[in-house]
Homo-oligomer: A and B are copies of this chain.
Amino acid sequence: MENIIILASNNKNKLKEITAKLNPFGIKVISQKEAGYDIEVEETGTTFQENAILKAEAIYELSNKPVIAEDSGLEVDFLNGDPGVYSARYAGENATDEDKCNKILNLMKDVKDDNKRTARFKCAICYIDANGIKHIFEQSCEGIIAKEPHGNNGFGYDPIFMIENKSFAEITQEEKNEISHRGKAIKELVNYIKNSK
């Protein structure tokens, strides 16, 4: 069993979350930058799964070492699945999280019925093991788009994503890890790695 896995991302929050979960099993997670691969992979996929695979493949091809990559975002039914894979750049490259939330709130300002405001966060993780075999973990979390932002925790679309009358920006990180798309996908990944040791 390999002891180092490269995370195909330089996002410190993701690194911290995944490191904390894999450390107890003697696995060290390092960022792609720490591993010496200071590249930006173009996310040209049409699904989260495709983007996660693209990112993991790019780093695996350079390093030939175990890699984890993640892609996630929000799908709003009223917007036919948008922002989807464009979640990060939905309001332009340099837009703030607030801009992105406001864009959705504006597009949906006339939608009064919560049954028409359904949405889900999705997360896909691609883990390429020491043999070059890819393993895909996908999870989602169903919710409702709020009519205005709520709470200060979280980031991205969290303030407008409601689950059981609280937004993702109103719950604690621990609660979020339990129910969120990313928390559940990481749990699946960790179980898989634990059992394949």
Contact = CB atoms under 8 A, between A and B. Distances in A.
Nearest to A189: B133
Interface string A39-74: 000000000011001000000000000000000000
A120 B133 CA distance: 19
Contacts of A53: 49
Contacts of A138: 132
A157 interface: no
Nearest to A195: B196
Interface residues of A, number: 15
A100 interface: no
A134 to B, nearest CB: 4
Contacts of A49: 53
Contacts of A192: 133
Contacts of A133: 135-137, 188, 192
Interface string A138-155: 100000000000000000
A49 B138 CA distance: 17
Nearest to A133: B137
Given A49-B53, A131-B188, A135-B136, 14 more contacts: A50-B50, A132-B138, A133-B135, A133-B136, A133-B137, A133-B188, A133-B192, A134-B134, A134-B135, A134-B136, A135-B135, A136-B136, A195-B196, A196-B196
17 contacts: A49-B53, A50-B50, A131-B188, A132-B138, A133-B135, A133-B136, A133-B137, A133-B188, A133-B192, A134-B134, A134-B135, A134-B136, A135-B135, A135-B136, A136-B136, A195-B196, A196-B196
